[in-house]
């Protein structure tokens, strides 16, 4: 038993001590030759029955009693004997003055990592409530302790909330029996109580210490030696720790990523790493499906449409399923001023936001709205470090056992985003060791882009994993899918360019750069593959082959323009900011990388915006080492 200090009113060195058992104490807390405070609950001819706690009671025989008693009277007793049948016999203790010292029950706790070995036996568990879900039958409390998260089913009556005072965030003690339920271990609750006072404080400290330790990311060796990338590694470790902690806290995660090759090479490894870590942490085998969702986004920023949908789903899940509000993980987007309105919408709720991106950032705009931000530009690097390269390392920090399945993915990300980093040779060599030559990697990049276009807002989890050949998927099916999708993509690109190329307009700028323009709204097929951004990129690549650097290509429609540049030192985010000020009523917005991006404007100002844009291009410096980074699929 655990004896707690007496209050000031009982402090008297001359007094005897009488122990008062807490309501949850059991017979194991009762010791011989120790006086206990009891309450009479019944009187019979042969004695009185006394209660020492909710589950400790016994008989004081009439032969040892003196005087008269009534139900509710207090009596100081000692344990006389425990009968063969388990009944307890007590005898009175004659003490006139005494100090009462409370006694709390000594619980032998069973962690969630030992439930399987205790199936069918009653156990005690302490943890934090991370979800409360009311079903048509029992109430399911998801409880997180030092080792993991377990569902605990408490039944009051069908569809009625059990223990209605218990809420998410409370620290509780659960008494119950682990049982197998639909492939998972679930605790059938006998009792559940909220801890308070010192008990709660001690439990919270213990749980916090364990959570901090388990949240620490794995210290993995980088896939290649790349000093420029090492600048980002501390920030990636910070994000890895935050994501692991989010899983341990039972909070859902929503992954928003740019729907292109690099975006998927970033999101899918992180998704799989988190799913596997969730499966390790949670006893509920359905937890990975409920706690992480990957959601592609067509725009290279967080649109209000996506933000309001995400917020609505999060609030519905909290109401229907008792989930906490999610953490939002932005990948391959999320670094610019265009993200701010959506972020500010989520800021009204407890929704942490993390961005891992390689688009040119606006840290002054998004800095206070993000809980963590990884971007090569924040370390004087640039887009050549792609988000996919970052997120493969991030996934390995979360779940290092994935490493062998991901060795080829950074090369796919680099080819998808046309990275000119010197490290690309090392990534290509690493992929070749896994059987991926450069032609196969290019096919894979093309296939991902094609699949992303037709999936639109659907994550296509299994299809994308089959294409990327991760998560132990079938090799033969992977090769067949990649070949089919890549061939279809190239055929449809050729059809698009056959229609568009005769309408490309060329001019020589004052800085000797070649400028090519194409009205993709009127001279390219609409609502089919490739999209305007990719159509512009394919035209750009062909013109580079014809003329060499420096080349700028602009594909435009009624209210947008897509830009690609090689060999010209552009700064598209800065150009957009200047156009906003120079063209009143133009409704100019946009961004991207320095030499590849997109601009939006109002239809009536298209001519003014395009003309001003061309003037800025003509004033730009020529730089033969600067080349475009990525396709923008607007």
Q: For residue 581, what is the domain's CATH number?
A: 3.10.310.40
Verify that 170 and 226 share a domain, yes or no: no
**CATH number of the CATH domain containing 136:** 2.40.50.140
List pLDDT tens digits, range 160-188: 999 999 999 999 999 999 999 988 999 99
Rounded distance between C-alpha atoms, residue 436 and residue 405, angstroms: 12
610: number of Cβ within 10 Å = 16
In a domain, 266, yes or no: yes
pLDDT at 198: 87
Q: Read off the tokens for 297.
A: 């986004």
Residue 192 — pLDDT band, cuts 50, 70, 90? Answer: very high
Residue 595 — pLDDT band, cuts 50, 70, 90? Answer: confident
Rounded distance between C-alpha atoms, residue 70 and residue 41, angstroms: 9
The pLDDT > 70 percentage for the chain reads: 96
Residues constituting the chain = 634
List pLDDT tens digits, range 517-544: 999 999 999 899 999 999 999 999 999 9
Mean pLDDT is lowest, of 152-156, 197-201, 320-324, 353-357, for 197-201
Q: In this structure, what DSSP letter does residue 326 have? A: P
In a domain, 418, yes or no: no
pLDDT at 446 exceeding the cut of 70: yes
pLDDT at 242: 98
147: number of Cβ within 10 Å = 17
Verify that 248 and 174 share a domain, yes or no: no
CA angle 427, 429, 431 (to 5 degrees): 70
pLDDT at 75: 94
pLDDT at 321: 93
In a domain, 275, yes or no: yes
Rounded distance between C-alpha atoms, residue 308 and residue 341, angstroms: 11
**CATH number of the CATH domain containing 356:** 3.90.1640.30
pLDDT at 625: 55
pLDDT at 352: 97
pLDDT at 273 exceeding the cut of 60: yes
Domain's final residue, options 348, 375, 404? 404
List pLDDT tens digits, range 312-363: 999 999 999 999 999 999 999 999 999 999 999 999 998 999 999 999 999 9
- Please give the full DSSP string across 381-433, using - where no structure is assigned: --TTS-HHHHHHHHHHHH-GGGHHHHTTHHHHHHHHTT---TTHHHHHHHHHH
Rounded distance between C-alpha atoms, residue 140 and residue 423, angstroms: 50
pLDDT at 6: 41
Verify that 92 and 125 share a domain, yes or no: no
Verify that 120 and 26 share a domain, yes or no: no
The candidate with the shortest Cα–Cα distance to 300, out of 271, 260, 327, 268, is 260
- Rounded to the nearest integer, the mean pLDDT of the chain is 92
pLDDT at 219: 96
pLDDT at 405: 95
Are residues 544 and 551 in contact, defined by beta-carbon separation less than 8 angstroms? Answer: yes
pLDDT at 497 exceeding the cut of 90: yes
pLDDT at 275 exceeding the cut of 80: yes
pLDDT at 86: 87
Q: What is the count of structural domains for the chain?
A: 4
Verify that 283 and 387 share a domain, yes or no: yes
pLDDT at 7 exceeding the cut of 80: no
In a domain, 78, yes or no: yes
Verify that 163 and 241 share a domain, yes or no: no
Residue 22 — pLDDT band, cuts 50, 70, 90? Answer: confident
Verify that 524 and 559 share a domain, yes or no: yes
pLDDT at 12 exceeding the cut of 50: no
Residue 5 — pLDDT band, cuts 50, 70, 90? Answer: very low
221: number of Cβ within 10 Å = 9
Q: CA torsion sign, 472 to 476 to 477 to 483?
A: positive
Mean pLDDT is lowest, of 211-220, 247-256, 325-334, 620-629, for 620-629
Residue with more model confidence, 54 or 348: 348
Residue with more model confidence, 34 or 298: 34
Verify that 237 and 365 share a domain, yes or no: yes
In a domain, 461, yes or no: no
Helix, strand or coil, per DSSP, at residue 149: strand
pLDDT at 631: 37
Q: In this structure, what DSSP letter does residue 358 have? A: -
Residue with more model confidence, 457 or 317: 317
pLDDT at 123 exceeding the cut of 60: yes
In a domain, 468, yes or no: no
Verify that 169 and 240 share a domain, yes or no: no
In a domain, 627, yes or no: no
Domain's final residue, options 38, 69, 104? 104
Query: H-helix or E-strand containing 563?
Result: strand 560-566
Verify that 201 and 223 share a domain, yes or no: no
In a domain, 317, yes or no: yes
pLDDT at 289: 93
Q: What average pLDDT score do residues 396-402 get? A: 97
Angle between helices 261-281 and 438-455 (to 10 degrees): 80
Rounded distance between C-alpha atoms, residue 129 and residue 108, angstroms: 20
Verify that 233 and 314 share a domain, yes or no: yes
Range of the domain at 297: 216-404
pLDDT at 149 exceeding the cut of 70: yes
Domain's final residue, options 370, 404, 438? 404
pTM: 0.85
Give buried/exposed letters for 254-266 (b at 16+ CB in 10 A, else e): bbbbbbbbbbbbb
pLDDT at 443: 97
Rounded distance between C-alpha atoms, residue 441 and residue 331, angstroms: 21
The beta strand positions in 45-169, using DSSP E, are 47-51, 57-61, 74-82, 88-92, 98-104, 123-134, 139-144, 149-154
Q: Supply φ then ψ for residue 303, to 5 degrees.
A: -80, 150
The candidate with the shortest Cα–Cα distance to 152, out of 286, 323, 284, is 284
Verify that 92 and 149 share a domain, yes or no: no
């Amino acid at each position: 038993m655990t004896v707690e200090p007496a209050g000031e009113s009982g402090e008297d060195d001359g007094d005897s001590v009488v122990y008062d058992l807490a309501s949850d104490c059991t017979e194991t807390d009762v010791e011989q030759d120790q006086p206990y405070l009891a309450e009479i609950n019944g009187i019979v001819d042969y004695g009185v029955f006394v209660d020492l706690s909710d589950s400790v009671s016994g008989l004081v025989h009439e032969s040892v009693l003196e005087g008269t008693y009534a139900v509710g009277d207090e009596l100081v007793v000692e344990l006389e004997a425990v009968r063969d049948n388990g009944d307890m016999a007590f005898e009175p203790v004659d003490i006139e003055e005494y100090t009462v010292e409370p006694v709390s029950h000594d619980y032998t706790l069973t962690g969630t990592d030992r439930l399987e070995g205790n199936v069918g036996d009653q156990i005690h568990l302490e943890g934090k409530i991370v979800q409360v879900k009311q079903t048509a039958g029992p109430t399911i409390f998801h409880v997180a302790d030092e080792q993991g998260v377990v569902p605990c089913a408490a039944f009051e009556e069908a569809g009625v909330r059990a223990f209605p005072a218990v809420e998410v965030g409370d620290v509780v003690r659960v008494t119950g029996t682990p049982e197998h339920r639909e492939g998972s271990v679930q605790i059938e609750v006998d009792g559940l109580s909220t801890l308070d006072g010192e008990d709660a404080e001690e439990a919270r400290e213990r749980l916090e210490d364990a959570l901090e330790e388990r949240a620490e990311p794995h210290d993995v060796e980088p896939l290649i030696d790349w000093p420029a990338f090492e600048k980002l590694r501390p920030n990636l470790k910070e994000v890895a720790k935050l994501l692991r902690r989010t899983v341990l806290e039972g909070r859902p995660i929503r992954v928003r990523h740019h729907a292109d090759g690099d975006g998927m090479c970033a999101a899918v490894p992180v998704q799989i790493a988190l799913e596997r870590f969730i499966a390790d942490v949670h006893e509920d085998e359905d937890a990975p499906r409920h706690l992480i969702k990957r959601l592609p986004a067509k725009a290279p920023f967080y649109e209000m449409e996506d933000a309001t949908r995400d917020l609505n789903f999060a609030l519905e899940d909290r109401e229907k399923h008792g989930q906490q509000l999610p953490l939002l993980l932005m990948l391959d987007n999320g670094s610019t001023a265009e993200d701010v309105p959506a972020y500010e919408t989520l800021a009204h709720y407890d929704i942490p936001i993390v961005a891992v991106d390689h688009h040119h950032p606006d840290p002054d705009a998004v800095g206070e709205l993000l809980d963590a931000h990884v971007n090569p530009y924040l370390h004087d690097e640039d887009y050549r470090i792609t988000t996919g390269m970052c997120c493969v390392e991030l996934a390995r920090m979360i779940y290092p056992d994935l490493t062998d399945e991901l060795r080829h993915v950074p090369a796919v990300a680099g080819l998808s985003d046309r990275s000119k980093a010197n490290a690309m040779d090392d990534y290509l060599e690493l992929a070749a060791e896994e059987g991926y030559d450069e032609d196969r990697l290019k096919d894979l990049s093309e296939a991902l882009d094609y699949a992303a276009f037709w999936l639109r807002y659907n994550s296509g989890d299994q299809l994308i994993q089959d294409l990327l050949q991760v998560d132990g998927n079938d090799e033969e099916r992977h090769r067949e899918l990649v070949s089919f999708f890549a061939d279809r993509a190239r055929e449809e690109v050729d059809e698009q360019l056959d229609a568009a190329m005769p309408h490309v307009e060329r001019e020589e700028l004052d800085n000797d750069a070649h400028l090519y323009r194409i009205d993709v709204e009127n001279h390219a097929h609409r609502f089919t593959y490739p999209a305007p951004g990719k159509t512009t990129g394919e035209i750009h690549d062909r013109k580079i082959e014809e003329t060499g650097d420096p080349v700028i290509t602009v594909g435009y429609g009624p209210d947008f323009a897509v830009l690609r540049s090689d060999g010209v030192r552009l700064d598209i985010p800065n150009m957009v900011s200047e156009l906003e000020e120079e063209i009143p009523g133009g409704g100019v917005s946009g961004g991207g990388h320095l030499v590849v991006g997109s601009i939006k404007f109002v239809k009536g100002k298209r001519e003014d915006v395009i003309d001003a844009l061309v003037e800025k291009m003509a004033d730009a410096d020529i730089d033969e080492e600067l080349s475009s980074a990525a396709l923008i699929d607007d």
